[in-house]
Amino acid sequence: MTVPGGASDASGALRLLLIGPPGAGKGTQAARLSEAYGIPAISTGDIFRENVKNGTELGVQAKGYMDAGQYVPDSLTNDLVRDRLSQPDVADGFLLDGYPRTLQQVEELDGILGVDGFSLDAVVVLTADTDEVVTRLLKRSAEQGRSDDTEEVIRKRLDVYEEQTAPLVAVYDERGLVVNVDGLGDIDVVTGRIIAALAAR
């Protein structure tokens, strides 16, 4: 199969983690990489919604927290991810988006994958100039009529993202897994950059 950017599809299972700030087009790239490599893109939000919709035991527990406006605790999030990664469609790999978010979840993911002797192959970090991202998000919020997305709010979200992800990126960087890719520019070009960077590993 030919993938965007003209590279050939990687053979063998590919287990990826995608990290990127709000406004860097992470969701778009996750969908494209999923198609390019023939692996499911898995976001924690999707896992929650799927379990809630299907009324699973874990979904019922998660819904209780979500309905109360509370964060789903780490322990339950870990259980949901473990359950999702045990399903047949991830046998040939996966792309995780939105998990892990904490160092404890990094250890948990290591344990989940380690049971079958697996580990992550690469951690793709989408980088983006802060001012550029702020401009992009302000434009999007204006188009969507989201008046609460002020520049101050957006910059705060970006600061929180940096604080939360910096320790995770540092851990994966020590393991030699991090691939930094410029997330700004034409969607096809960014997809091509990611695929080229992974092929070069």
44-54 vs 57-67: helix crossing angle, rounded to 10:
110
From the candidates 49, 63, 155, 157, give the one annotated as an active-site residue. Answer: 157
pLDDT of residue 201: 83
Per-residue pLDDT of the chain (201 residues; tens, 9 = 90+): 334 433 333 446 899 999 999 888 899 999 999 999 999 999 988 898 899 999 999 999 999 988 888 888 889 999 999 999 999 999 999 999 989 988 999 999 999 999 989 999 999 999 999 999 999 999 988 999 887 788 999 999 899 899 989 999 999 999 999 999 999 999 999 999 999 999 998
State the catalytic residue, choosing from 26, 32, 84, 193: 26
Q: In CATH, which of 1.10.10.10, 3.40.50.1820, 3.40.50.2300, 3.40.50.300 is domain 14-199? A: 3.40.50.300
The region that residue 2 occupies, defined by phi over 0 for left and psi between -120 and 50 for alpha, beta otherwise, is beta
Tell me, what's the pLDDT at 72?
Answer: 85
Q: Which residue among 146, 156, 175, 201 is the active-site one? A: 146
Q: Where are the domains of the chain?
A: 14-199
Half-sphere exposure of 107 (CA within 13 A, CB side): 5
Q: Please state, as a whole number, how many other Cβ atoms lie within 10 Å of the Cβ of residue 199.
A: 12
Handedness of CA 108, 113, 119, 122 (dihedral sign): negative
Q: What pTM was estimated for this model as a whole? A: 0.85
Q: How far is CA 171 from CA 7, 140, 153, 194, in A?
A: 29, 33, 28, 20
Residue of 49, 63, 101, 155 marked catalytic:
101
Active-site residue 26, yes or no? yes
Which residue among 49, 63, 140, 155 is the active-site one?
140
Instruction: Tell me if residue 136 is catalytic.
Output: no
- pLDDT at residue number 128: 92
What's the DSSP call for residue 90?
A: G
pLDDT at 22: 87
Which pLDDT score, from 0 to 100, does residue 145 have?
Answer: 86
